[in-house]
Structure 1
Amino acid sequence: MSWIKTRLKSFGYAFNGLWTLFRTETHAQIHLLALVVVTVAGLITGLERWEWLAIILTIALVVAAEGMNTALEALSDALHPGHHPLVGKAKDVAAGAVLFCAIAALAVALIVFLPHWL
């Protein structure tokens, strides 16, 4: 029983992390809005199973990257509140990774949706 309680607590921490991400981070809120818009567009468009797989994996990639970026920024700020060039480099690289994932998500959305809409 203790093992189950421990697992449930772990899920609670994870859901709290998602809640915190979407509640406090502007970019995560933008990604959440995009998630809703793409999901509604997919339902209206009538996407096929493989198209949904591409969309879901892409959404997961962007949200995961944003979460990692946010976590890295928070940890960096806690460990080194002042400016440090290596901390700045780490933050820039993490933000760049999120941007790369978001651009890839846009490409996937265009590949999936344009054939249906044209």
Structure 2
Amino acid sequence: MKNDGFTFRKRMKSFRYAFRGIYLLVRYEHNAWIHCAITACVLAAGFLAGLSRTEWVAICLCIGMVFAAEALNSSIEALADRVSPAYDEAIRRTKDLAAGAVLILAIASAAIGLLIFIPKLY
């Protein structure tokens, strides 16, 4: 791949592609809808609980990582389905591993959320 150098126009174009990817994630991926709903609840709870700056950093990192993992998982699934529309055990394993990665991050994020929010209740 040839590198033609940096231009502002190319950077703006790459941002447009990235924002389109976010749009596609939120518009078409059902699991992302669940993440959006949970994100809205966590943000509302965070404002009501008066989280500290450090707590907000942890919450924002968790939200960002879960959405990024979901986007990568959706990408892997779409590409795998395109490459091998028929059943393939290796493709199934790959898709399961990617979905498992999202679940691991979601569980870790939920644990962090509980560590932050439970003390606020008492």
Q: Distance in 2 between matches of 1:45 and 1:74?
A: 39
User: Which structure features the higher share of helix residues?
Assistant: 1
Aligned position for 1:113: 117
Name the amino acid aligned to 1:31: H
Residues 10-21 of structure 1 mapped to structure 2, 5 A cutoff: 10-21=14-25
Aligned position for 1:43: 47
- Out of 15, 24, 30, the residue aligned to residue 26 of structure 1 is 30
Q: Distance in 2 between matches of 1:35 and 1:10?
A: 26
Name the amino acid aligned to 1:41: A
RMSD (CA atoms): 0.9
- Out of 63, 66, 79, the residue aligned to residue 62 of structure 1 is 66
What TM-score comes out, normalization by structure 1 length? 0.97
Aligned residues: 117
Q: In structure 2, list runs of 5 or more residues that go unmatched.
A: 1-5
Q: Secondary structure at the match of 2:69?
A: helix
Q: In structure 1, list runs of 5 or more residues that go unmatched.
A: none
Aligned position for 1:81: 85
Is residue 2:98 matched to residue 1:94? yes
**Residue 36 of structure 1, CA deviation:** 1.0
Name the amino acid aligned to 1:59: I
